Structure 1
Amino acid sequence: MKKILTAIFSAAVSIAAAQNQPSENLVQYVRPIIGTQRMGHVYPGATVPFGMVQLSPETDTASYDLNGHYNPDVYKYCAGYQYDDKTIVGFSHTHFSGTGHSDLGDFLVMPTVGPLKLNPGTADKPGSGYRSAFSHDNEVSAANYYKVKLDASGIIAEMTTTTRVGFHQYTFPKSDNAHIILDLMAGIYNYPDKNLWVYLRRINDSTVAGYRITNGWARTRTLYFAMTFNKPFTQMGYKNFSKREVYGGFWGKFNGVKNFPDVAGRQIKVWFDFKTSQDEKIKIKMALSPVSIEGALNNMQTEAPGWDFDKVKNDGQQQWETELHKIVIEGSKDDKENFYTSMYHAMINPTVYMDADGNYKGLDQGIHHADGFTNYTTFSLWDTHRALHPLFNIIETKRNADIAQSMLAHFDQSPEHMLPIWSNSANENWCMSGFHSVSVLADAIIKGNAPFDANKALDAAITTANHRDYEGIGYFNDMGYIPDEKDGNSVSSTLEYAYDDWCIAQIAKKLNRTADYDTFIKRSQNWKNVFDPKSGFMHPKLADGTFRPTKFDPFTTIGMGFIEGNAWNYTLYVPHDVPGLIKAMGGNKRFVTYVDSLFSYNLPDKYFAETEDITKDGIIGNYVHGNEPSHQIAYMYDWTDKPWKTQDKIRMILKKMYKNTPDGLGGNDDTGQMSAWYIFSALGFYPVAPGSDQYATGSPSVYHAVLNLENGKTFTINTKNQSDKNVYVQKILLNGQVLSGYFISHSDIMNGGEITFVMGPKHKG
């Protein structure tokens, strides 16, 4: 009995000790530098999860320089940073993550010593301006922390953030001629008249504040700021670079260039002078607000009242730890770096868009208060509806519900009475096709994550879907397709509207609105109207009801009726009716052959010149993983008698498209969609049709994973016999019971439990 009691006691101690062991630090596996080379278009700088500030270096911009010379490389500098560049222009506070369009880059700060230079200079002659060479050997990029040595001055630049505040720390050499330059005209993709107006006023000898109004991708974007230093500046000055602005009248009665009370104009740069001792740290806090200068000052006082740089850094990294621990995996160091960097990139966007007091600027340009939710912006919905928001419905349920409410607020404030398409900073950018906010709403409602008025959401979705003046919707509703003569994206828009209408039908079904369900489930079948059984492809269709007889090439995009994809890929874009698509394409055998050919055919070289990235990034054969309409394709074998081909293709894509290197993203991350695909696929399942509660299974690459859900439950993923060779699933057990097919439901995950994949080197069937 004594031995038994001793054993029980020892086991209890062991269990208690295991439970009290600190969990592994996961921030160590985040490498923001992944994807900064080539076309990943992510940035290496500091941000907290979903933060309003993204403080990161600019190695160059796509813009006009001060001499009026234009840099045409718009697509290259979408995030302001390219790993292959050798110089840094400065550090700015706003960035898009992984987009295919250049904008933002607000409030660029650059520390210098010696004679003041206000021209950035050029990459080949950085000494001609304030630009500085740097080396990756002296660069650190981590979650919520960035550090680099500026070779021109020897200054060590460090930065971290809170949600609304960028915190700089610059270690200077001894100098009587040290400067901080604040470039209020800089931006990613600058062009004449992008800066509509800037304003700055001096509050005291260590604090300034102001705002910037720009006409970029967002046509009327106003961003307020408050900037404070940890020591008084000895002097401040400005220069107006606009030749068109003439100051006269009462403005001319003050000597306003040095130590001025305020300044306004289109093209303004400001500098602050200091005397520094050796290794003295000049610290700067830059708070942002979408509402007002007072809002920016309050954000700073609320989030970063002191000057403890390390505390702000550590607090932000702890936020990242909390988010990363929502999925805990086992695997190699490489596996963990790929996985947790993907988690990091997936949790950058959407971004918070409101002050600490809950006020934000709406689409109507009025000031609103977010009552009971956090307001978000940066909705790249053509991309993120596919996997990012479904991922949030599992591990970020409260946040995704807030995102849905932000979309409904957008609808209420929209002069067009539409849900968001691609929105940012109280503006609608109208980018890409479809109206995929309805997918986000449907996915949340169907999966029981809708603490908002679902009937109001359905009404907003129907209003958006019936907006006849937008992108061919009138033709789609009347004719069942968009005629080729009427829209350059006629086929892809028809397919995307059909899917969106299916999403609306799912909401209507859930809410027992039978008439609406009947209308939209019928419209969801309109994809059949652009499928040509003779060619076997989705095909441009003329207004007279015939398919375009000439000039059709299934390999190319431009002029074929598709956006960011060709007929080979888009023919498989019917995520909501895969069985119907298989039947239309001639049955199981022909469908499998078609999907096989997508991966085996090599896209002819002549077609790369017409793609946006002009490279072979993200392409396997003719399968374009770097563009999202292909993301569900590998999982479509699950509807056939060859599900093992899904398993084979998924593991191949994971290996080819994702690496823990600077060029480790096979295409734009697209505000987290590419990363979300990786996360789902590494775990072993994927939401082929968001708006459904069903996930298709694949071939997990993790050895073990635990999803820590916000409802307090856990969902565990086990893989037996895991290896690079054992890519084929022999059987799947859900809570100990053998799964009869290759699909699991959302409730299977959210109710907690475990799924076990038994792997092997040979496929079944």
Structure 2
Amino acid sequence: MGKYCTTLTITLLFSTCAIFAQPKNYIKWVNPFIGTERMGHTFPGATVPFGAVQLSPDTDTIPYSSNGKYNPDVYKYCAGYQYGDSTIVGFSHTHFSGTGHSDLGDILVMPTVGKLYLNPGTASNTNTGYRSKFSHSNEFAEPNYYRVKLLDYNILAELTTTTRVGLHRYTFPETDSAHIIIDLVHGIYNYPEKNVWTFIRVENDTLITGYRQTSGWARTRTVYFAITFSKPFKTYGIINGDKLIYKGFWRKFNQNTNFPENAGREIRCHFDFSTANHEQILLKVALSPVSTSGAVENLNAEAPGWDFDAIKNKGQEQWNDELGKIEVETLTDSDKVNFYTSMYHAFLSPTIYMDTDRKYRGLDQNIYTATNFDNYTTFSLWDTYRALHPLFNIIQPKRNVDMVKSMLAHYSQSVHGMLPIWSHYANENWCMIGYHAVSVIADAAVKGNDGFDLPYALMACVQSAKNNWYDGLGYYRELGYVPEDISGSSVSKTLEYAYDDWCIAQLAKKLNREDIYNEFISRSNNFQNVFDKSIGFMRPRLSNGSFKTSFNVLSTHGQGFIEGNSWNYSLYVPHNPDALVSMLGGKKQLRTYLDTLFTMHLPDEYFSETEDITRDGLIGNYVHGNEPSHHVPYLYNWTDNPWKTQYWVRTICNLMYQPKPDGLSGNDDCGQMSAWYIFSALGFYPVAPASPNYAIGSPLVTKATIKLENGKTLIISTQNQAKNNVYVQKVLLNGKPYSSYFLNHNDIASGGEITFIMGDKPKKLK
């Protein structure tokens, strides 16, 4: 009896330990539908962290031009999906998350039954094409899994992924006319020219290969693919435009009976099956930037079998590992959903861009091997330098180093001698302003995340900042500002160049290059050259040195600014707020300026037809939906009322981030909006990346445990946390009183504990 009891006790003990050892389920707090309605431009489909495949439904695509004019509806479909739509065109394998520009949507797959259509048809009448109606009541999404019922066909569609492979599982009704459509014409960004070229090759009755080359936002972008079916198809057909190339049974090639490959601009094809009721047909779609053989190798390496649930579960384990880097406790479930969905969105891009053998296509369209780093693409740097990459320096430092190495590889392949501006899929789009790769590089280096060639990186930064041909940069170097009569958005460019120059100076200082430091710290003061003291605002100057006479500080159109007006951009001196205070006349004057910004009313006449998007995220004239304002709430820390930062940060968190499809106040912009929320919910923010300092705000969490890659743990805890207790009464750093409104990066990277004691009334830290 004693032996039995001992054995039972040990068994129960191990069983109990096993129960407590189960990993926490963070993915249950992620809602991929947040941001899919209106302007968030996120997608709900399946992907793994930083995955090369983003397999998601497309509800529509809108041609870029209509009767030769810009069609504003094209802006709605940057991610291919709008929550308010009621039809699905199909499931494509590449998507941007939260961008303000569209591209991708490669290799559309759509299962159907009955009459065969090889055109998508219209949303108003799904009987005219292969698209189908759907209902949100029959739709479900979580990290690395998406499911929907296609109502027109009674087909259940399920999607999951590996890094480079999308896996589809379709449950069909009983029919002898089941079809799987492969549409190589479909794309999210439909220029009139459409595809440059597409190619498809039917290798056998379960495998097809090919590529799709497009000229859209990226002027030459090539995606290779390999598609394999779990069941041999009985017939197939290929059309090129309106021309039927082949329709019939699969058989070994015979030029008199079939033609198993074709190339052209508008290729669509179908693969036909007979199915029993509830029979499942699976297909795997592997992508490669290099070749069809690379796609086949990716498929074999990452998804050799057909166990859909195993692949789904493995991807979800990856998500749990990544989301678990920060474990939070919050006052409400809604706050926790907002936090972990923000973490999810922050880890969607940049994306892996290389095959499993580490080969990738370079900017010069040649093939390279990433020997000592993982190569990434999708760098929306005008957005992500502000908070996303600084966040990575805390919780994804190794990945961020690889991203820097990817940027340096881009530079080495550039005939222009430039670091990336906005790049994806071996292309430079030259979108937005500044040369903000230098911010990402300098921020990583200054914070000790410097596992890359620092002298080479400094050279790349300096060269990028000395290209006279780039976007008014030559005039900036000559005059100390960009003249509006020569280069539009001139004030925004001048201010952002000045900040980037300061970043280069910080990198030079780290490397003891006093000559470069002196040159660029001087250039970083160029913001003063566009400040008009007579009106107290930043103002465009002309090439003759005079200020632009016809000028309105509230207007967003043609006044020298981009995604903002003079009220917004006059605060864009993130690297030198003390100088901003001085220019405005003192701390009190800066506080008055900020108070007015947050409470003023913008008349309708200041919005043009194409700028209505700037209405999203407005609090007064503060525009949270546009990135140039993201540091602004934290500027109260440089005034005589620093607690107003705490009030406005908490207000923005509650107003602009909500757990519903239209819960984002603007484009998530490849994770920048989400990174702002993550930082702000934790209680601090990087006002000037490349500085080791963070400005303190108002933590939203009750507790956060940050697991650092160096093995240390940082705990952020709050006392007296409540909905109305937004004001920081006291800060403790490792148990000792801390009187500064700024944290140092070493305070974060060293681990330990930061305690915020909260209250419902403002109080200065002592």
The answer, yes or no, to whether TM exceeds 0.5 is yes
Q: Distance in 1 between matches of 2:614 and 2:640?
A: 35
Q: Distance in 2 between matches of 1:108 and 1:60?
A: 12
Aligned to 2:122: 122
- Residue 256 of structure 1 and its aligned partner are, at CA, apart by 7.5
Aligned to 2:656: 657
Equivalent position amino acid for 1:81 in 2 = Y
TM-score by length of 1: 0.95
Aligned to 2:602: 603
Q: 1:65 to 1:502 in 2, by over 3 A?
A: closer
Q: 1:703 to 1:162 in 2, by over 3 A?
A: same
Equivalent position amino acid for 2:477 in 1 = N
Q: Distance in 1 between matches of 2:392 and 2:748?
A: 13
**1:397-436 correspondence to structure 2 within 5 Å:** 397-436=397-436
Contact in 2 for aligned 1:236/1:260 (Cα 8 Å):
no
Equivalent position amino acid for 1:672 in 2 = G
Aligned to 1:681: 680
Q: Distance in 2 between matches of 1:566 and 1:481?
A: 18
Aligned to 2:22: 22
Aligned to 1:623: 622
Equivalent position amino acid for 1:154 in 2 = N
Aligned to 2:6: none
Contact in 1 for aligned 2:107/2:186 (Cα 8 Å):
yes
Aligned to 1:751: 750
Count of matched residue positions in the alignment of Structure 1 and Structure 2: 744
Contact in 1 for aligned 2:556/2:607 (Cα 8 Å):
no
Contact in 1 for aligned 2:36/2:81 (Cα 8 Å):
yes
Show structure 1 runs of 5+ residues with no match: 1-12, 248-253
Contact in 2 for aligned 1:56/1:93 (Cα 8 Å):
yes
**1:643-722 correspondence to structure 2 within 5 Å:** 643-722=642-721
Aligned to 1:495: 495
Determine whether 1:761 maps to 2:760.
yes
Q: Distance in 2 between matches of 1:457 and 1:323?
A: 28
**1:333-352 correspondence to structure 2 within 5 Å:** 333-352=333-352
Deviation track 1:497-522 (CA, whole Å, cap 9, x = no partner) reads 00000000000000000000000000
Q: Distance in 1 between matches of 2:255 and 2:539?
A: 64
Q: Distance in 2 between matches of 1:384 and 1:506?
A: 19
Contact in 2 for aligned 1:389/1:440 (Cα 8 Å):
yes
Contact in 2 for aligned 1:236/1:258 (Cα 8 Å):
no
Q: 1:107 to 1:256 in 2, by over 3 A?
A: farther
- Residue 608 of structure 1 and its aligned partner are, at CA, apart by 2.8
Q: Distance in 1 between matches of 2:195 and 2:356?
A: 27
Contact in 2 for aligned 1:201/1:262 (Cα 8 Å):
yes
Deviation track 1:121-170 (CA, whole Å, cap 9, x = no partner) reads 11111111111110000000110000000000010000000000000000
Equivalent position amino acid for 1:27 in 2 = I
**1:467-506 correspondence to structure 2 within 5 Å:** 467-506=467-506
Equivalent position amino acid for 1:230 in 2 = S
Equivalent position amino acid for 1:483 in 2 = P
Equivalent position amino acid for 2:74 in 1 = V
Contact in 1 for aligned 2:189/2:217 (Cα 8 Å):
no
Aligned to 2:73: 73
Aligned to 2:161: 161
SS at match of 1:579: helix
- Residue 192 of structure 1 and its aligned partner are, at CA, apart by 2.4
Deviation track 1:583-638 (CA, whole Å, cap 9, x = no partner) reads 01111111100011111011211223345444621111110000000000000111
Contact in 2 for aligned 1:63/1:70 (Cα 8 Å):
no
Q: Distance in 2 between matches of 1:288 and 1:298?
A: 10
Q: Distance in 2 between matches of 1:639 and 1:306?
A: 59
Q: Distance in 2 between matches of 1:64 and 1:441?
A: 35
- Residue 737 of structure 1 and its aligned partner are, at CA, apart by 1.2
Aligned to 1:10: none
Q: Distance in 1 between matches of 2:614 and 2:625?
A: 11
- Residue 189 of structure 1 and its aligned partner are, at CA, apart by 2.1
Determine whether 1:104 maps to 2:124.
no
Show structure 2 runs of 5+ residues with no match: 1-12, 247-252
**1:53-68 correspondence to structure 2 within 5 Å:** 53-63=53-63
Q: 1:70 to 1:472 in 2, by over 3 A?
A: closer
Q: 1:509 to 1:320 in 2, by over 3 A?
A: same
Q: Distance in 2 between matches of 1:128 and 1:567?
A: 50
**1:276-355 correspondence to structure 2 within 5 Å:** 276-331=275-330, 332-355=332-355
- Residue 21 of structure 1 and its aligned partner are, at CA, apart by 3.9
Aligned to 2:238: 238
Q: Distance in 2 between matches of 1:66 and 1:152?
A: 29
Equivalent position amino acid for 1:660 in 2 = P
Q: Distance in 1 between matches of 2:717 and 2:510?
A: 33
Determine whether 1:537 maps to 2:545.
no
Deviation track 1:304-326 (CA, whole Å, cap 9, x = no partner) reads 00000000000000000000000
Q: Distance in 1 between matches of 2:118 and 2:430?
A: 36
Equivalent position amino acid for 1:412 in 2 = S
Deviation track 1:523-558 (CA, whole Å, cap 9, x = no partner) reads 0000000011111111001122221122x1111221
Deviation track 1:259-315 (CA, whole Å, cap 9, x = no partner) reads 532111000101000000100001010000000001000000000000000000000
- Residue 328 of structure 1 and its aligned partner are, at CA, apart by 0.3
SS at match of 1:671: coil
Contact in 2 for aligned 1:235/1:258 (Cα 8 Å):
no
Contact in 1 for aligned 2:563/2:614 (Cα 8 Å):
no
Aligned to 1:171: 171
Q: Distance in 2 between matches of 1:678 and 1:19?
A: 33
SS at match of 1:152: coil
SS at match of 1:284: strand
- Residue 18 of structure 1 and its aligned partner are, at CA, apart by 11
Q: Distance in 2 between matches of 1:330 and 1:258?
A: 66
Q: Distance in 2 between matches of 1:70 and 1:393?
A: 40
Aligned to 2:511: 511
Q: Distance in 2 between matches of 1:72 and 1:660?
A: 27
Q: Distance in 1 between matches of 2:55 and 2:123?
A: 21
Contact in 2 for aligned 1:237/1:257 (Cα 8 Å):
no
Aligned to 1:224: 224
Equivalent position amino acid for 2:557 in 1 = I
Q: Distance in 1 between matches of 2:503 and 2:443?
A: 8
Q: Distance in 2 between matches of 1:18 and 1:732?
A: 38
SS at match of 1:158: strand
Aligned to 1:725: 724
Q: 1:529 to 1:246 in 2, by over 3 A?
A: farther
Equivalent position amino acid for 2:676 in 1 = W
Q: Distance in 1 between matches of 2:468 and 2:744?
A: 36
Contact in 1 for aligned 2:239/2:245 (Cα 8 Å):
no
SS at match of 2:731: strand
Contact in 2 for aligned 1:237/1:259 (Cα 8 Å):
no
Contact in 2 for aligned 1:235/1:259 (Cα 8 Å):
no
Equivalent position amino acid for 1:298 in 2 = E
Q: Distance in 1 between matches of 2:492 and 2:513?
A: 28
Q: Which moved more, 1:736-745 or 1:393-402?
A: 736-745
Equivalent position amino acid for 2:392 in 1 = F
Deviation track 1:221-246 (CA, whole Å, cap 9, x = no partner) reads 01100000000000111111168x99
Equivalent position amino acid for 2:526 in 1 = N
Determine whether 1:580 maps to 2:576.
no
Aligned to 2:567: 568
TM-score by length of 2: 0.95
Deviation track 1:430-462 (CA, whole Å, cap 9, x = no partner) reads 000000000000001001111111010000000
Q: 1:258 to 1:394 in 2, by over 3 A?
A: farther
Equivalent position amino acid for 1:307 in 2 = W
Contact in 1 for aligned 2:614/2:623 (Cα 8 Å):
no
- Residue 22 of structure 1 and its aligned partner are, at CA, apart by 2.9
Equivalent position amino acid for 1:461 in 2 = C
Determine whether 1:378 maps to 2:378.
yes
Q: Which moved more, 1:604-613 or 1:383-392?
A: 604-613
Aligned to 1:526: 526
SS at match of 1:76: helix
Q: 1:706 to 1:265 in 2, by over 3 A?
A: same
Q: Distance in 2 between matches of 1:605 and 1:351?
A: 39
- Residue 39 of structure 1 and its aligned partner are, at CA, apart by 0.2
Equivalent position amino acid for 1:681 in 2 = S
Q: Distance in 1 between matches of 2:165 and 2:29?
A: 25
Q: Distance in 2 between matches of 1:730 and 1:454?
A: 41
Contact in 2 for aligned 1:564/1:627 (Cα 8 Å):
yes
Q: 1:64 to 1:231 in 2, by over 3 A?
A: farther
Q: Distance in 1 between matches of 2:191 and 2:408?
A: 33
Contact in 1 for aligned 2:221/2:425 (Cα 8 Å):
yes
Aligned to 1:188: 188
